[in-house]
Every structure is written in C-alpha cells, then in structure tokens.
Amino acid sequence: MSFSFQNHSYIRSYFITTALFLSQYFALISCQYVSFTNEKKNHQSLFISSFVFLEMSYALETHTKAKEQIGSLPEITPGSENDTVPLIQLGNKIFRDINLSANRIQACVTCHPLDGRSAGMDRQSTSRGTFGQLGKRNTPTIFNIGFSSVLFWDGRRNTLYEQAIDPFVNPLEMSLSSESELITRLQNDSSYQNFFSEAFPNDSNIDIHKVRLAISAFERSLISISRFDEFVNGDLYRFNQQELYGLNLFLELGCNHCHSGRTLGGNSFSKLESPEFYNPNDLGRFEVTGNPNDRYVFKVPSLRNVFLTSPYFHDGSVTSLKESILRMNSYKLNRSVKDSEIELLIAFLKTLSDRTKTN
C-alpha cells in the first residue's frame, strides 16, 4: 500500500522540517567524542530537545497562518462601546422573561439556552413556538451574534436592533399580537421599573426603542472565547498535534473561503448545490428578495461552537458533524477528504467551542 504526500501539505511540511533537523542532529553527534555514558545521555537529551523544538516550530508556523487567515475574536463587539451594565442587565431580564410570550411559558432563552453547557441554541431540528407550532428553520446559536452582519438564515435583518422584536411577534415563535402588546406587558410588570430607570436614567418610560436597545446590548455581550482564540493570541501549547494538523487541513482545503473571518462564517451567503437533500419548500433568501438567483441561497453559518450546536444546516436535517463535512466536501472544497482527515477537521472544530461549555 503506497502513501503520497501530494495532498497532505500540512503533514508534508512537518516531515520536511523533521528531516532537516534529524540530518543536523546526526551530523552533530558524528562530530562529538565523549565517554559512552555521557554520549548516550547527551544524545537522548539532544534528540528530545530537537523534537520539542520541531513541535514548537510547527505550532508557530500554524499559529502564523491562523492569525493571518482567521484571527481571534475581539473582547468587545462592534457597537457595544456605549452599552452599560444596567442596559445589558435589562436586556438579559427581557430575554429570559416567559411572560412576554402569548402563553407565558416561553422566552427567548427557551430556544437560545445560555446556562450550563448550553451553547445558545436548543439542539432541535426546528424549535417549537408557544402553542407547539414547529418553526420553519433550525435555531442558530446566539453566541457571537454581535459580530454578524447577516441575521436569520435568509438574511432578512442586518442589525440586532432591527431583529430584536421579531421573535416576540412571530406567530411561529412567541406569538404576541403586536409590539404594543409587548410594551403593555412590560409596563404592567412592576419589576421592570427599576431596570428601566437604571438603564435610562434620563427617561425611563418604557417604549419599543428602549426594548430594542436593551436586547441588542445583551446579545452583543454574548461572546464565546475558545482554545482557538487562546492559541491565536499566542498560547502555542493550547493545541495538540492532531488539532494542529486539523487546522492546517482546514486552511489547505479552503474551508475558510466561505467560513471566513474571525467568526469563521456568519457574514455571507451561499447557494445549496443539492437542494433536494433539504426542505424543498424553503426557498431561502428568495423569499426576502424575490430575486430568482436567490433561490436556495442561505446564510453561511459561523463555525464557532459548531461541535456544540447540532443538528446542522438551515433545516436541522443533519445530526452528525462528520456527515455535514462530507456534504460540504462533495461540492465546496478543493478536493475530497478521507475519513482520517475528517477526524482531524473535527479535532480542530472542537477547539472553536466556548471553553466554559466544554469539559
């Protein structure tokens, strides 16, 4: 059985570097003359040191690529410069309030759970609304949404401010009859008085504008920091060899052409090459724009927390991350991948998980 490095440049680079150092190592020991005991110890020490240096060299090379081609998440999201703690706290309260749904048993956090090991989505193919009605599309994670300029799978909103009220009045979600009903419920709940006074000291009257500001401020605060970010920021020991291989393979295959930027996706659209595999009645962005070219066009999701947020795709039809990679590989990547390479990719994708949500 033959093995070729032709399609494995991420491994080929490592072995070339290894060969160079080994040649230097053997050249060095051939010139040394010491006692047998000291020679054996020196050779072992030099050999171990050489491989440690090799590992660090490969990690440093990979770090440089990741920093240049992806980057790490900033500590704050765009537009959050003026978000105050009271404003975020108000948004958090609204986000978790079940009394703001038609049947008073569902809140934003129902479909976007945040606590414990939850990663901002309910892991259902499609979520159910207040009266058990099935939603049309898979619920995406809300973590890092403040870095995205494309909201919803069809991109019908561009800012968190625009998006903030939609779930409350969507008949498939929280099913309130109108924005006015939302405001009335907030006004009738005395527990909100202090929250609005703290968040808006100059004018604490409850209105839809302030609700939008509060919810969007809270959503901007939901930033996940991963081992990948720590690696890109300079901690080279955060990745093991398999994860380094996986990251190099991810870049070699061109996965970051679609899943691009610091969020690894979430800011662009792509067309399904094989729509027959998915819900044929969902025409994607076409339903927003009416442009025939937008049929079966959907938002490219961020890969951050992807290991924690199955099922996948806009209709939640794929439960396996391996199957998702195979589907993308079938028409989006530069070449086909083997099972062993998929395992490497998954090892890398796991490093994108919020470090507080994993063991």
Is 43 among the annotated ligand-binding positions? no
pLDDT, the chain, mean: 87
* Region 313-338 average pLDDT: 86
Which pLDDT value is given to residue 1? 36
Task: Write down the pTM of the prediction.
Answer: 0.85
Only one residue has tokens 């990690």, namely 59
Closest among 256, 251, 212, 250 to 341, alpha carbons compared: 250
Task: Give the pair of three-digit tokens for residue 183.
Answer: 């405001």
The verdict on whether 173 is a catalytic residue reads: yes
Provide the pLDDT for residue 218: 98
Q: Encode pLDDT of 16-62 as tens digits.
A: 455 545 455 444 445 554 444 555 455 555 445 454 555 778 889 99
Flag whether 31 is marked binding: no
pLDDT of the residue at 178: 98
Mean pLDDT of 89-108: 97
Is position 328 annotated in a ligand binding site? yes
- What's the start-to-end Cα distance of the chain, in Å? 39
Catalytic pick among 173, 219, 252, 341: 173
The domains of the chain, with CATH numbers, are 9-69+225-266+301-350 (1.10.760.10), 85-220 (1.10.760.10)
Give the residue among 300, 301, 296, 299 at the shortest CA–CA distance from 275. 296
Angle between helices 339-350 and 241-253 (to 10 degrees): 110
> Is the confidence at residue 78, as pLDDT, over 60?
yes
pLDDT tens-digit profile of 6-19?
445 555 555 445 55
pLDDT of residue 13: 55
The burial class, CB within 10 Å (0-12 / 13-18 / 19+), for 89 is: middle
- 259 carries a ligand binding annotation: yes
